[in-house]
Structures are given as structure tokens and as C-alpha cells.
A and B are shown apart, each in its own frame.
Chain A
Amino acid sequence: MTVGIVVVSHSRALAEAAVALAGEMLQDGRGPIEVAAGLDDGGFGTDAIAISEAVARADQGDGVVVLMDMGSAVLSAELALEMVDDDVRERVVLTPAPLVEGLVLASVSAAGGASAAAVAAEAGDALEAKTAHLGPSSPEPGGTADTAGTADTAPSGDDERGSFTVAMPHGLHARPAAQLVRALHGLDAEVRLRNVTLDGPEVSAASLSKVATLGALHGHEVAVRARGGDAAEALRRVLGLAEDGFGEAGPPPATVDVEDRTDHRPIPASPGIGIGPVRVAHRAAVTVPDARPGTPDEQRGRLDDARTRARDQLQGVRGTAAREIGEAEAAIFDAQVLLLDDPDLLADAAARLDGGADAARAWADALDEVERGFAAAADEYLRARAADVRDVRDRVLRALGGAEEQDSAPDGILVADDLTPADAAALDPARTPAVVLAGSSPTAHAAILLRARGVPAVVGVGAALAARAGEAALLAVDGSTGEVVADPDEPTLAAFRDRAAAFGRRRDDARRRAHEPAVTRDGTTVLVGANLGSPEDARAAHGADLAGLVRTEFGFLDRREAPTVDEQEASYRAIAEAMDGRRITLRTLDVGGDKPLDYLPVAPEANPFLGVRGIRLALARPRILADQLTAIVRVAHDHPVDVMFPMIAAVDELTAARRALVEAIEAVGRGRPADLRVGIMVEVPAAALKAAAFAPHVDFFSIGTNDLTQYTLAAERGNDQLAALADALDPGVLALVAATVRGAGDDVLVAVCGELAGDEAAVPILIGLGVRELSVAPGAAATVKEAVRAVDLESARDLAAAALTCADARAVRALTGTDRTLGERPGAPSVPWTG
């Protein structure tokens, strides 16, 4: 039974926020919830016609429950009923329930398969928990109706009995309560619960509003009594749920977002084959460790130590992320570090310590408060930050001795709603054959990290499919095609093993030939470089012909003052020496207002990615640029060095940057280094289109496809909703690559140093467009070289020409898909989801 719900409000924002709030209660799918709110012009008001249409949409034959705010909402809803078909009208219930509380209860009840009348009744009880909670003048918890119910139906005799202790740190709050109600739905059993610790009344476990009146907090004991044909099964389910912490898993908002996405096509996100048992990522909330005695001062000391440890860990994760994916991405960990030291938060925790709480409890409660604030925010970005808060909370609690359940997780294919970048950075590739995510996108930070770490991944499969995968005993995953097969039969399994073997052979070939140049079949040499952030990266860049991009930001972060010329020279020299004679391309400082440095303050900007960043910031602070260029010139006298300016949009900027370089050369006083070359990053679409104007002033262009894609499609990289759109293989982006090559002429080399360069599907297209250098993550250089060797320039040109005429990235990928899998898999791709 699927009862639809319609939310009628004067305010569209209010209605949508209420729906989002209700969505948090539903971990796996929900029935239709339609909104009819506000006027077409965005003003407040209700519209009976819109309501009647919403009712028609929500109705799937099992009825519709309508919740309304006040006044005209009620009249309009009544009028709307006159406008719908007679048979639909008979199935519609208008409920007087309060809009927000009622919607939460109704949506849970509807998701559990209740009838329209039952959903409406449940919604109608919505005020009970709040009434019981507030004011001693209110009726007893459970209200009179429930007391009567107890008397009438009190089970006696052969009841199934049991009890559990509430393990969740937040108690049996609404979300686990919803799990409980749903687990019991459809059983022939009457189940009643009682909070033994509080010696409270017995309430029905079938009603979310009643379960909420239990007030069962962490550590409370709850007695369970069941009767009826399925009483034993009901008891087993309740106790089983209690054992599992009521499925408290993952950051809840992600589920809502996943559900809202219309496109649930599995997306290949990291190539490779994974076969193995399933490991569902129940990121079981880190439990708050038992209170330890101590004075407030001692507790404060413990908390400070734990925060220091958490900060060290975060800096470690940040360092990995900075090396493997880049500074801009690593900046998300800066936000977490900031939170660790947030003065308001620390004041709150200190107040709790003074109030007698121990360190762990004070920290957990203070962070929970912040998390709730974020989770309830209307802004999608802020809601997503709730996961960051939880990360920080758990990290400190673990340092305080909180149970860490993740480490005990068995090896297997990880199935989860989403991964935080920290999770992805911490994942052990040896124990994780593959990753399957309900949400996320191939361009999300987590996916980029997974690729860098060589873990096959398929993302964006949707909550329903992820749930199915999570229940499988065995999964087979192809991160190159997006296929995920649950419980594969023997022939399928054999086919996946063959593919895995072929993939492995290719990788081994690549390793063996890593140090040979990458030459296409017809003899064109393409340089394959590595993107580096440190000397360690340089050592990992197995087979790279050069360092096509050295991110110099690492020397500037986490400091109170800018690094000196000597310090910079030493770190660039270390990288040059690690590369052992191979050319290094040093990109000057590329930061902006999204993470201002202490010594490089930037006025707050509404949109830092379109603000004063890259070369714009460098030219505004000439001292910093002068020092950096001086260090680069000193190294360039002893090693082959390129200098590259980021975020160039205008020739004037390049002219000014080159003038600064000339001044640095004069300052060093040894003349121009013979082998010093100058280039720019092409990230701004205008720079690509004006390449001919830049060409006389540079030795090379390096296209940063990550930012170029983001700016060209006006689609933020981290936003899952835009995953399909923000694909660097979009023909619009490829046209800008083509324009850059055209403008570059014969004397200027065109390189690509974004993620796209490491996408094997893109390699022939980029070469066909005229790109002659690809710079990729250190670990990927060998396989990209192998991909270059498979290219035939003539057909690559045809392929590139065809790609430019495609409508979208999906069409481009379809062009390349056949080539990529040729010889590995006979026939058409199998249906991605089977079994």
C-alpha cells in the first residue's frame, strides 16, 4: 500500500523544508509527497487548482492524506477536493494535524505501508509527544486515549517478553523510532513498550508518536511485550534492531538527496574490477565512552589532548588529500580543523564541563547541538556540513576512548550512501576490492581519492539499488562500466574474473613499460607527467616523463607567515632532485578567498571561486609573488624548470606576471636560466578562446580541466546533483581544448593537467584534439602511458571530430566506450543491475 501525501502551505519554502525534515526520517525510500504551496509568482498563498493537481499526482490508488497550514490552505484544500475525480476524492483524507509534526509522522507511517486512514490518524496524534513533554499541566504521557487503549488491550497470559538497553547516544529519538515502527508493520502482533528506567506507562510500538513519548534516552532500559500470531517474530525484530543500534547509519541528509535525484543510473567512477563479500558501511555512531571522574580542569585537559590528537590526524588526512587530489580539495579538512578550535563551540563545551559533565559527554553534547543546527538548515550546502561536524565529533570521541567500530569491519566491497573524503583517504585498498555508493558523483572528492588509490568504484546508484546491493552475499563490480551485479551466478562471476585478469594484465604491462616513452601506434610521442605536491609524490610518480604540475601551495599552508625565499628554494629543489633530471613545472601560488591565509588576507567574497584568486591574488600581493619567483629562478639555474601562472584570464595579467619574473631574474643576478620556460594554466574559458593572443608570450599552455569544466558548465564540482553535467568530456569543454590547440599554433605545447588527462576514455580524444602532454596523479602515469600507446592518431582525430559534434558528455562517452572495452567483453554491455 502506498499512500500519497500532499503538503499545502502558504509558503513554498516552508512546505519544502517540512518535506526535507520528514525525509530525514526515512532511510530507505518513501511514498510520493507532493507540495502545493505558494503562488506562481513566489508570493504567499494557496491555490486550490494546484492542490487538486498535487492530489492527483500523489494518488497511486491507495489514497492521499492532505496536511495543511492555516486559513485559505484549509478552504483551498476543501475546494480542491471538488475538482478531483470522484473515485480519487473518496480516497483523500484532509487531516487537521499540525503541518510539520503531522508530516513527519504521516510520512513515516505511509512509508511503512499504512492505509490513508491510519496515516491520517497517526498525523493527528502529532502533538501528543510535544504536549507530553511540555508543561506539567499537560495530560499524562500517552494521553487519555492511550491509557484507555492499555486497559482494553493489555496483553496477558502468553506474551513474548524481552527488554533492551538504548545504545544510541541520542536515545530512541525519532529516526530509530521510525525504524522500529516500520519493522513491525504488517506483523500479526501487538507490541507494547515501556521505559523501565523512568517507570513510565506502556505504549504501542505501532505508533511513532507513542514511541516518542517513551523518552528513552541513552542507557535507558525498555521492556518489550508482544502478543499475537507473530509475537515471537516481532520480539526478535525489536531486539535485533536494538542490537544494531536501530540502523543509525551514515549522514541522514544524503538519503534525502539521493531520493530526490531523478537519475539513478550507476556511474563508473574508478576503473577496475572488484569481486567480494559486502561490507555495509554502518558508520555506527561512535559511542560516548563511559564517564571518567575528574575535576573540570582535568576534564578540560583531557579534552584538549584529544582535540590535539584529532588535529594531528586531520592534518595527516589533509596532507594525503593535498598530495593526491590537490589543495583546493584538501581545504575541506581545514574547515574541520577550524571547527575543532571554534570559540563558541569550546565555550559551550567548557560550560558543560563546569556543569559536571566529563570530557566526552561535554564534547558529544556540544557537537550534537551544532550538528542539529546544520542538519535543520534550509541551505543544501549547510546541511551537507552536518557530516563534517559528525566527523569532528567522532574523531575527538575516539581520541577520548570512544568505541571505534569501523576497524572491526571485515574486508569486503564497501556499500554506503556516500563517503566523506576522510573516509576515502583512510580506506585500505588491500581490504576493499571496490566501493558502491548510493549518492556521490565521479567528480566528488571521495571519487577522485578512490581513483588515486586504485579502488574500483561505482557511484550514484540510488538508495534502492544500494540497499539491494547491501543485502547481497557477494557483489561483482566493474568500475569501468558501472556494472554492479548482486549475487552473480557462476558464468557471470567467471566473466568478471576474466575481466579482472585482463585489467590486471594491462596494469602489469603498464608497470613493466612505465619508463619507456608513450608513443602512439603511428609514432607520435606524447609526454606523460605527474601532478605533484611533495618530494614523496615525486618518488611515487613511477614512469612519469616530467612533473607536469607541481602545486606549490603546500609550502604556504598552516603557517602564520609566508615561507622565506630560502625555505621555498629548498622545497622546490627537493622535488627537482627527486625527479632526477626530469623537468618540473612549478605553478605559482593558487589560493583564494575560500581559504585565506593569515599573511594573505582576502576580503570576504560571496563567491571565492569567481573572486580574487590565483594570479589575481598574486599580482595584488607582489611581495609574495616576487619571493616565490626568486626561489623558482634559483632552482631553475640547476634543474630544468617551467614556471606556470594559474587562473589567467587576460593578457595583461600574463604581462604583469612575466615582468615580475624578469625582476626576479635580475634580483638573482645570474642571468636568465637557459632552460626556464613559461606557461599559463588554461582554466578560464576566456583564456582558451583567446589562446592566440597568449601564444606569443608563452612556451606552453596547461589546461586545468577541473576548473575549466566547472567554469564552462557553471556547475560546481562537489555538487552531486550536477554530477552528470559537470563532466569534463562535455563537448563544450572539448571545444575549448580544441580552441586552445588552434590558438597555440605549432610552437606552443598544449598540456592537460586536470582529472580528464587520467581518464583513459579521454586519452584518444585529447590526443586527437592536438594535446601532446598529459599530467596525471602520480600513480596513474604508467597506465595512461599504456593508453597512449593504444592510440592511432588518424582514428583519434576522427574520434575527436565526432566528439565535438556530440550533444553531451554521455554521447561522447558512448563514442569511446566501445573502443575502451574492445577485446575484453564480447557483445553489448550486459544489463547493469541483475540478480
Chain B
Amino acid sequence: MAGLDVDGLGRWLRIYAASVAEHQEELTSLDAAIGDADHGANMHRGMAAVVDGLAATPPADPAALLKQTGMVLIRSVGGTSGPLYGTLFLRMASAVGGETALGPETFAKALRAGVEGLVARGKTELGDKTLYDALGPALDALDASLGDGEPLAAALHAASRAADSGRDATTPMVARKGRASYLGERSAGHQDPGATSAALLVAAAAQAVAEGA
């Protein structure tokens, strides 16, 4: 297949926005346990603005779409996930160059570049109980599947499962970053809201590619 073009990426983001809307309460209650109870509302506000923006000013190519998404998230999310997700999309935008459709390798490389930007921004590592605990395993699974010759849809499906496992693995962790880290040991026993929304992002990518196929 040709890969993800502007329409495919737009579908990804719309699916993600719908998924965030659907899980808004869950994200907020997870955040209420260990943070400041705004992750659901913040992400919902941010993604709704992204979808509105795509409709109002349709971007010309993947780089423009990803950049626009990053900027809107930075502007409208408000919490820590704003600069983190914002950086992810901005770095993806720089990584895709002028391509009009992203092949599997390009998409995977761009996503990795985005996640690396996010890691640098948050100065986080695996086990800190953050978004990266879902995204890191997802990237590895994505690369492995593509390396095995799987198509992008299947590889993203595998990545999504890895992200879900990574997300589940955050539950026993003690937070070392973000507002949750103020709770220290008390943060253990709660699933990380950031990892949860990150897993939804990967799942949305898998669904978007599957629907586009």
C-alpha cells in the first residue's frame, strides 16, 4: 500500500480524538488518583481543537498536518501532556520531510523521532511511570514486526498490544516524574493516565491504517 497520506493521518487523529472523548472520564479518574484530575479534560480539549483545526484549515501534506497538530496541542492542552504530545508531533513533522504519503518505514521512523523528542523534553526513562512506558515498547514492537515483513496494519496492531502491556505495567510503578512523583510510594497501585492516553494513540493509529486498507 502507498502508506499514510494526509487523509490517513487525519483519520488517525480523528479516531484518537473520538477515543479520548470516549475515555475522558477514565483518564480523569486515573489522574485524580495520582495527579491533578485534569488529564482527560486536557486531552479532550486538545484533541477537539486538533480536529476542529483540521476541518477549518486542511493541511496540504503530512508534515504540515503533524506540525499543525503539535502546535494546537501546545496551545490548548495546558498540562504537561501539551508540550509532551506537542513535541512528539512537531518532531514527527520534521522527520517526514516533504513526503506526501508515509510508507511503513517512514512512519515508524517519524514516530520514533517524535517519541525521542518527547523523552528528551520530559527527561524521562522507562519505569518512570509516564507516557514513555507505553510508547517505548510500542516502538520496539512496531520496528520488530516491520522487520519481520509484516504490513503496517499488522505491525501497528502489535505495537498497540505492546503499548497496552506497557500501560498495564505502570500500575505497580512508583512515579518519578510529573505531578504523580510528589506522591512517591503512594503512586504505586494506580495505572498511569499518560501511559493510558498514549496507548490509545497507538491503538488509534492501528485502527486508522486498518480502516484505510
Asked if B121 and A79 make an inter-chain contact with CB atoms under 8 angstroms apart, the answer reads yes
Please tell me if the beta carbons of A79 and B74 are within 8 angstroms of each other in the complex. yes
Tell me the number of A-to-B contacts counted with CB atoms below 8 Å: 55
User: How near does chain A come to B58, taking the closest CB pair, in angstroms?
Assistant: 21
Cα of A75 to Cα of B179 in the assembled complex, Å: 13
> CA–CA, A669 to B71, complex, Å?
83
* Shortest distance between the CB of A505 and any CB in chain B (Å): 66
Q: Are A47 and B178 in contact (CB under 8 A)?
A: no
Q: Answer yes or no: A76 CB below 8 A from chain B CBs.
A: yes
Cα–Cα, bound, A39→B74 (Å): 10
Interface flags for B159-185 (1: CB within 8 Å of A; 0: not) read 000000000000000000011000000
Pick the residue among A40, A50, A72 that contacts B79 (CB under 8 A): A72
B residues in contact with A10, CB < 8 Å:
78
- A49 within 8 A of partner (CB): yes
Q: By the criterion CB–CB under 8 Å, are A48 and B76 in contact?
A: no
Cβ contact of B86, chosen from A39, A70, A79, cutoff 8 A = A79
The one of B78, B84, B87, B122 that contacts A46, using a Cβ cutoff of 8 Å: B78
Q: Which residues of B contact A70 (CB under 8 A)?
A: 179
Q: Does B195 contact A (CB under 8 A)?
A: no
Contact B82 A72 (CB under 8 A): yes
* Chain A interface category by residue count: 10 to 19
In the bound assembly, the distance between CA atoms of A601 and B143 in angstroms comes to 79
Cα distance A46–B77 in the bound complex, in angstroms = 8
Q: Are A49 and B79 also in contact (CB < 8 A) when A71-B179, A78-B121 are?
A: no
Residue of B nearest to A76 (CB): B83
**By the criterion CB–CB under 8 Å, are A45 and B79 in contact?**
yes
Contact of B78 among A39, A49, A78, A79 (CB under 8 A): A39
Residues B83 and A78 in contact, CB atoms below 8 Å apart: yes
Interface core residue of A40, A43, A71 (most chain B CB under 10 Å): A71
Instruction: Tell me if B178 and A45 are in contact (CB < 8 A).
Output: no
Given contacts A39-B76, A72-B80, contact A48 B86 (CB under 8 A): yes
Q: Is A44 an interface residue (CB 8 A)?
A: yes
Q: Chain B: which residue is nearest A38 at the CB level?
A: B78
Report if A49-B122 is in contact (Cβ < 8 Å); known contacts: A71-B80, A72-B80.
Answer: no
* B42 close to chain A: CB less than 8 A: yes
Q: In whole angstroms, how far apart are the Cα atoms of A731 and B83 in the complex?
A: 50
**How far is B71's CA from A71's CA once the two chains are assembled, in angstroms?**
19
Judge whether B84 and A75 touch: CB under 8 Å. Answer: yes
A75, B75: Cα distance in complex, Å? 13
CB < 8 Å neighbour of A72 from B71, B75, B76, B78: B78
* A residues near B42, Cβ cutoff 8 Å: 45
Residues in chain A near residue B75, CB distance under 8 A: 40, 47, 49-50
Assembly CA distance A43 to B80 (angstroms) = 14
Q: Is B78 touching A43 in the complex (CB atoms < 8 A)?
A: yes
The verdict on A75 contacting B78 (CB below 8 Å), with A45-B42, A48-B86, A49-B71 known, is no
Chain B residues near A72 (CB-CB < 8 A): 78-83
**Chain A residues closer than 8 Å to B76, beta-carbon distance:** 39-40, 47
Q: Are the C-beta atoms of B74 and A48 separated by less than 8 Å?
A: yes
- With both beta carbons as reference points, the residue of chain B lying nearest to A72 in the complex is identified as B80
Q: Which residues of A contact B81 (CB under 8 A)?
A: 72
When chains A and B are docked, how far (Å) is the Cα of A45 from the Cα of B79? 5
0/1 string, A432-456, CB within 8 A of B gives 1: 0000000000000000000000000
Q: Is the CB of A75 within 8 A of B121?
A: yes
B residues in contact with A43, CB < 8 Å: 78
Contact with B along A181-220 (1 / 0, CB 8 A): 0000000000000000000000000000000000000000
Beta-carbon contacts under 8 Å, B29-86 to A: 38, 42, 71, 74-84, 86
B74 near A49 (CB under 8 angstroms)? yes
Tell whether, in the assembled complex, residue B77 and residue A45 are in contact, meaning their CB atoms are under 8 Å apart: yes
CA distance A43 to B44 in the complex (A): 14
Contact at A75–B71, with CB atoms within 8 Å? no
Distance from A46 Cβ to chain B, minimum over Cβ atoms (Å): 7
Residues of chain A in range 664-704 having any CB-CB distance to chain B below 8 Å: none
Given the complex of chains A and B, what is the CA–CA distance between A75 and B71 in angstroms? 14
- Cβ contacts A61-75/B at 8 Å (1 or 0 each): 000000000111001
* A80 → B minimal CB distance (Å): 9
Q: Across the interface, which residues of B come within 8 angstroms of A49, CB to CB?
A: 71, 74-75
Bound: A46/B121 CA distance, A = 15
Enumerate chain A residues within 8 angstroms of B83, measured Cβ to Cβ.
Answer: 46, 48, 72, 75-76, 78-79
Q: Give the shortest distance, in Å, between B138 (CB) and chain A (any CB).
A: 21
Docked Cα-Cα span, A292 to B79, in Å, equals 58
- B121 — which chain A residues lie within 8 A by C-beta? 75, 78-79
- CB-CB under 8 A from A39, the residues of chain B are 76, 78
Identify which of residues 775-822 in chain A touch chain B, using a CB-to-CB cut-off of 8 Å. none
Chain B residues within 8 Å of A71, by CB: 79-80, 178-179
**A87→B209 CA distance, assembly (Å):** 42
Closest to B118 in A: A75
B179→A47 contact, CB < 8 A: no
Docked-complex contact A46 and B82, CB < 8 angstroms:
yes
Residues of B within 8 A of A75 (CB): 80, 83-84, 121-122
Nearest first, the 10 A-B pairs at minimum CB distance are A45-B78, A72-B80, A75-B83, A79-B83, A48-B74, A76-B83, A39-B78, A72-B79, A71-B80, A49-B75
Given A48-B83, A49-B74, A72-B83, list of 8 further CB < 8 A pairs?
Answer: A10-B78, A47-B82, A49-B75, A70-B179, A75-B80, A75-B121, A78-B83, A79-B86
Q: Which residues of B contact A (CB under 8 A)?
A: 38, 42, 71, 74-84, 86-87, 121-122, 178-179
What are 19 A-B pairs at a CB distance below 8 A?
A10-B78, A39-B78, A45-B42, A45-B79, A46-B83, A47-B74, A48-B86, A49-B71, A50-B75, A71-B79, A71-B178, A72-B78, A72-B83, A75-B122, A76-B74, A78-B121, A79-B83, A79-B87, A79-B121
